[in-house]
Amino acid sequence: MAACAFRRSIASQLSKVLDLPPENLIKSISAVPVSKKRHVADFQLSIASVTEDSSSDSSAQDLHRQAQKLAERLKCDAVVSEISTGPGTVNFTINRELLAKTVLQQVLKDGSEYGVKSELFSAVPRQKAVIEFSSPNIAKKFHIGHLRSTIIGNFIANLKVALGHEVIRINYLGDWGMQFGLLGVGFQCFGNKEKLKSSPLQHLFEVYVQINKEAEDENVKKLAKDFFRKLEEHDEQTLSLWKQFRDFSIEEYIRIYKRLGVHFDEYSGESFYQEKSQEVLKMLEDKGLLQKTVKGTGIVDLSEKKDLSSFSTVVRSDGTSLYITRDLAAAIDRMNRHSCDTMIYVTDKSQSNHFQHLFQILKLMGYDWAERCQHVSFGLVQGMKTRRGEVVFLEDVLNEVRSRMLQNMASAKTTKEIENPMETAEKVGLAALIIQDFRGLLSSDYQFSWDRALQSRGDTGVFLQYTHARLHSLEQMHGNEQLTDVNVACLQEPDAISVLQHLLRYDEVLYRSSQDLQPKHIVSYLLTLSHLAAVAHKTLPVKGSAPDVAQARRCLFQAARSVLANGMKLLGITPVTQM
């Protein structure tokens, strides 16, 4: 990684002056974000992070004085061409030709591994992670929360795989519970085998809505209870119908996930754990953790003082298991089967309490690995409607975004004749959805807007795709450059330097996202990269320039496109080459 070589060089000079090992200094030296003010240094050292006497109440003046004192003791060399100070920082400017040569060489040599090979990750152990995400309920709406869970879980899995971790992607379906009693009765009344085969999600949802209207009828309630009891008793005919609901639904899910570019290693579900949940209840009882209430329900006391000020209900009065009991069984089973280092659950923030209880009970049961379980929560999306009304199925959203994008592409003056407009519209539309979703903190709620998401200018997924396609066509026009003979002295314009400085920061951005699992750092980085590349594309023409200037610029744009594509793929976006 280009930044690593420069950080190391600066750290080695600092270590002699500060008498600290260079490896202690590397993380205190960060790349400076590109500024509109144009001339900024490339790296900065925060004085507060390296001097012992800079306590939290050190004044800004003190820190500035310390920065100046330190800067006076440092010398420029073959790598650093200028040393200056800022508020509490020492700033380092890298020799301009060395900057261009090192960054371009590294980006084009590392390809898709640029940034992930950085020494910032050297202290991070390779791990095995189980990530549970998406997890729709069969026969209920695949609502927008499931879409968020799907794209966020996919991003976390992509990032971990890119950084060399082993990942198991699990889709934990809501495929058990009383609603299947109701659905079974509904299907016997209103079901159609042909429709179940051709569009299972739609048909089961319609049946469920229809039977729900009669759910208060005592006779229907009794039939539903009987159906679910038979299911729990493994009655062959009942189980066979339930299995059809599940299998046809999974087939259709797989087809839809394929459109999203998402795959799973395992389709699991609550049904797998209805028997194992009885084992969990027995373990809780054996450990003296299960208490019976007056109503006959089983609870686990989670309060510190053991005064039941906080508890979790784990079994109904009739002895049947609850969602949390099945989740306990699933967590224990996964840890036994996969021996993973971490388990991540991606669901909306309304379930935060549920996961807090889940992890607490696991800890009380003596499972220390509960400490390594994590709930990545996200906020709600308001206002997502298709032209046909409220969103019911994910497929409606995908079809809507594709048709709106096709319309926009058809009316845009810049659209070229492209081979597969439907496919391109879908990829660009999906980028629009993902970027709108990932721009803020995951835990924030946000108001969805089709118009804002699909704008071709501004900070949108459409703009990222447009920039990528434009840079790709530049490469196609002039052929891919071999870097060996590029004259980097031709890349000294401020707009070229800004792109190079920004490419330098990529590993730090990946590191931040890997620490807090927030995609917004990468989104913001890619949007800035696209804006910088767009400006450079205008001010640094390839066509009509002297051969060595044209060649150096092509190389710069190729490096920008390569990093843009890498980042987009981590977010779950397939970069398009025509638009």
User: How far is the C-alpha of 399 from the C-alpha of 549, rounded, in Å?
Assistant: 45
Q: Which of 101, 141, 146, 427 is catalytic?
A: 146
Whether the Cβ atoms of residue 469 and residue 576 lie closer than 8 Å to each other? yes
User: How far is the C-alpha of 395 from the C-alpha of 382, rounded, in Å?
Assistant: 18
User: How far is the C-alpha of 308 from the C-alpha of 129, rounded, in Å?
Assistant: 34
Q: What is the largest CA-CA distance in the chain?
A: 88
Q: Which domains does the chain have, with CATH numbers?
A: 2-94 (3.30.1360.70), 133-378 (3.40.50.620), 385-571 (1.10.730.10)
The sign of the CA dihedral 294, 295, 296, 298 is negative
pLDDT for residue 317: 87
User: How far is the C-alpha of 375 from the C-alpha of 189, rounded, in Å?
Assistant: 40
| The two structure tokens encoding residue 261 | 């570019």
pLDDT for residue 414: 60
Find the DSSP H helices in 339-393. 352-364
**Burial zone of 227 (CB within 10 Å; 0-12 exposed, 13-18 middle, 19+ buried):** buried
User: How far is the C-alpha of 212 from the C-alpha of 215, rounded, in Å?
Assistant: 5
Taking each helix axis as running N to C, give the angle between helix 506-516 and helix 520-539, from 0 to 180 degrees, rounded to the nearest 10: 160
Q: Which of 140, 225, 276, 354 is catalytic?
A: 140
pLDDT for residue 413: 64
| Integer angstrom CA distances of residue 333 from 52, 287, 336 | 48, 19, 5
Q: Residue 531 catalytic?
A: no
* SS3 label, residue 537: helix
pLDDT for residue 381: 84
Q: Residue 520 catalytic?
A: no
pLDDT for residue 52: 64
Per DSSP, which regions of 212-294 are E strands? 266-269, 290-292
User: How far is the C-alpha of 182 from the C-alpha of 220, rounded, in Å?
Assistant: 8
Across the 579 residues of the chain, what is the mean pLDDT of every consecutive 10-residue run? Answer: 88 93 90 80 91 64 90 95 94 96 94 93 92 90 82 98 97 90 94 92 90 89 91 92 92 90 95 92 96 94 92 89 93 97 96 97 98 96 66 78 88 72 93 94 88 83 95 84 77 95 96 97 97 96 92 95 98 95
| Integer angstrom CA distances of residue 222 from 177, 226, 352, 503 | 15, 6, 34, 65
Q: Which of 101, 141, 143, 472 is catalytic?
A: 143
Name the phi and psi angles at 268, rounded to 5.
-110, -170
Q: Which of 465, 459, 466, 538 is nearest to 495 (CA)?
A: 538
- Tokens 């803020």 identify what position? 440
Q: DSSP characters for 462-489? A: HHHHHHHHHHHHHHHHH-PPPGGG--GG
Label residues 105-139 b or e (16+ Cβ within 10 Å = b): bbbbebeeebbbbbbbbeeeeeeebbbbbbbbbbb
pTM of the complete model:
0.93
pLDDT for residue 503: 97
> What's the alpha-carbon Rg for the chain, to the nearest Å?
28
The sign of the CA dihedral 74, 78, 79, 83 is positive
User: How far is the C-alpha of 512 from the C-alpha of 504, rounded, in Å?
Assistant: 15
